[in-house]
Amino acid sequence: MNTVAAQDSLTLNLLGPIEARRDGTPVDLGGAKPRTVLAALLLARSRVVPDTELTALLWGESPPATCSAQIHTYASRVRRLLGPAVRVERRRPGYLLRLPEHGVGVDLLAFRQYAARGTEALAGGAPGTAARVLRQALDVWRGTALGGVCDPLADLERDRLEEERLTTLERRLDADLDLGRHTEVIPELIALIAANPLREGLRGQLMTALYRSGRQADALAAYRAARATLAEELGLEPCADLQRLHQALLTGHPSLLPRTTVRATAATGAAADRAGPPAPAELPPAPTGFTGREQEVARLTEALTGRCPGPAVHTVTGMPGAGKTALALVTAHRAAERYPDGQVHLDLRGSGPAPLDPADALGELLRLLGVPAGRTPGTLDERVRAYRTRIAGRRLLLVLDDAHGERQVRPLLPATDGCAALVTSRSGLHALDAVGRTTLGPLPAADARALFEKLAGGSRASAEPGAAAGIVRACAGLPLALRIAGGRAAARPHWPLARLAERLAEPRRTLDELTLGDLSLTDRLWAAYRGLDPQSRRALRFHSALGPHAVPPHAAARALGTAPERAEDLLAGLAEAHWCEVVRQRDGYGYRMHPLVRLFARARLAEEEGTVPRPLPVHLPPAPAGAVPRTG
């Protein structure tokens, strides 16, 4: 059923077979290719879609010689069929679709608006409203998204759209469970799990529904089935949330009750607590212009506002400048009202030369929780015990920012129900047990472009689309680089964007240009670089000489003059610290640097080794241990 507003005279539908309707009457769009062009332009969200991208979406790897002319024909057909209200503009190097503010409805936009309203209602403690609005969102769908488009576009976008649908469906089921409809949703959940056996959220909802229906044995059997499926298909244990839910089933934990039942008890406790010191509200403002990362924010918000027993601990990790703190703060502000006993932000200074000592961090936390300075215990163990006693029975949210490592973080993590912690770090923090993990990479191209346009001004980017694309390309999806570039463009409105694009395109100047006020990508990279041990720093420097592609361990061994096993250990350590990424290849795997990290490392190589070698060949057989390459 299509629930796009009835007053829209033209509706464009993506969530099912691609179609356009004018006053309810279908518009004949023709075959798959004009439908693909329409869908690609709608999905681009007011972004210019280059001819090269349209070619790949229409013909994959085998475009015809006349592809440019055919694209022009398809775009003209779409323009003619949709009428003057929808503008399909030729904007080199591609095409741009502009929608008016009124009169044209898009089912994908309607779905996302309903989904956002329903999610907000659920987080705000209104499950009845949430269930109704989320059903409206799901009713927008008419079948499998992007029906009738060419395969390359379907392969690229369909899974992402289906993920949005399933996430919204899971939230609607959460609302139904909060409303006590556990018996009614069991058949639906069983069918959904049969179609999506690896979605642990659905598994947890089925376990909860069965338990609340008086079927504890069936709920435990559902967990065993989930564990067996995950082990057989992926070789993995269930996620930390599902394991905690299993423990709650075994003990009959109160968190398994519907939230409406728990809320009255929680309100009584909260009222008693308010007689003490005021609850800390220490969160810095959420960053303005935050763009992208919708799925990551949604998953973390759901985890922090869900019904999982035990403390919710989640790490957000990634390379310098990936937007870890921004993501944590946006999420924390969305979940803040679930933690009436306080929200605390603590900078652990892990990337600096003097990370905060755990005992000092605990002293600051105790002070924020109302312990007078003169009564703070002296030793680390005593402070840990006092801290855990102080937060017992409270609903407290911690944002532990810029953690150095597990040893610093572990004493600060809450150990009781009702509390949660978001931990950001450049380290992977892999030694922490039973935590949720979110790793941030570069932004997708569309989100990177949107972030730059939001900061620099959409009109300037539209006026110079080629230069804007060059700036975004030079930033390689790194949020900090995009923020600096967008801020510089906004600070110098008299400069054409082409000037900044030309400067960023020159490798010797790129990092120097990515500085604005107290924001500097080079400073962030320097701080992290100093935290590496000498051998890892050397491996990073020489890795940069091996080209922009993924480097197999044996090629790194040749460059470093070390045994392949030692080279692999060094590269794996750099990947764990997010200096490079692991890329699977046909004959194994390699390690690839982010382009901006590679520029930084090449500068360090030139300064610390005295020369920048030409890129070394990497597709070589493993060199004998001890073989040292020429670098001059």
Using one digit for the tens of pLDDT, what is the confidence trace for 586-605? 878 899 999 999 999 999 99
Tell me the two tokens of residue 397: 């949210």
Instruction: Report residue 549: phi and psi, to 5°.
Output: -85, 175
Query: Domain check: are 597 and 453 in the same one?
Result: no
Task: Work out the burial of residue 232: count CB atoms within 10 Å of its CB; fewer than 13 is exposed, 13-18 middle, 19 or more buried.
Answer: exposed
User: Is residue 464 included in any domain, yes or no?
Assistant: yes
Strands (E), 408-557: 420-425, 436-440, 515-516, 519-520
Query: Domain check: are 353 and 426 in the same one?
Result: yes
**How far apart are the C-alpha atoms of 515 and 481, rounded to whole Å?**
8
> How many angstroms separate the Cα of 364 from the Cα of each of 49, 183, 282, 346, 371?
51, 47, 12, 8, 9
Give pLDDT tens digits for 402-431. 999 999 999 999 987 889 999 999 988 989
Query: Domain check: are 351 and 472 in the same one?
Result: no
Residue-level pLDDT at 459: 84
**How far apart are the C-alpha atoms of 23 and 7, rounded to whole Å?**
9
Query: Domain check: are 457 and 507 in the same one?
Result: yes
DSSP 8-state code for residue 320: T
User: Is residue 560 included in any domain, yes or no?
Assistant: yes
> How many angstroms separate the Cα of 150 from the Cα of each of 34, 35, 53, 550?
10, 8, 13, 31
pLDDT at 618 over 70: no
- Tell me, what CATH number does 32's domain have? 1.10.10.10
User: Is residue 236 included in any domain, yes or no?
Assistant: no
Cα pseudo-dihedral 318, 323, 328, 334, rounded to 10: -140
Residue-level pLDDT at 271: 39
**158-173: b (≥16 Cβ within 10 Å) or e:** beebbebbbbbbbbbb
Instruction: Report residue 91: phi and psi, to 5°.
Output: -125, 105
What's the chain's average pLDDT? 87
- Report the half-sphere exposure of 232 (CA within 13 A, side-chain side): 8
Side chain identity, residue 271: A
**How far apart are the C-alpha atoms of 285 and 363, rounded to whole Å?**
24
Q: pTM of the full predicted structure?
A: 0.59
How many folded domains does the chain comprise?
A: 4
Count CB neighbours of 203 within 10 A: 26
pLDDT at 338 over 90: no
Query: Domain check: are 398 and 493 in the same one?
Result: no
Instruction: Report residue 581: phi and psi, to 5°.
Output: -120, 155
User: Is residue 197 included in any domain, yes or no?
Assistant: no
Query: Domain check: are 97 and 4 in the same one?
Result: yes
Query: Domain check: are 12 and 59 in the same one?
Result: yes
Q: Which ranges of 308-405 would DSSP assign to H, the alpha helix?
A: 324-335, 358-368, 380-391
Residue-level pLDDT at 580: 93
Q: If you average pLDDT over residues 349-362, what whole number do you get?
A: 90
**Domain range enclosing 50:** 1-162
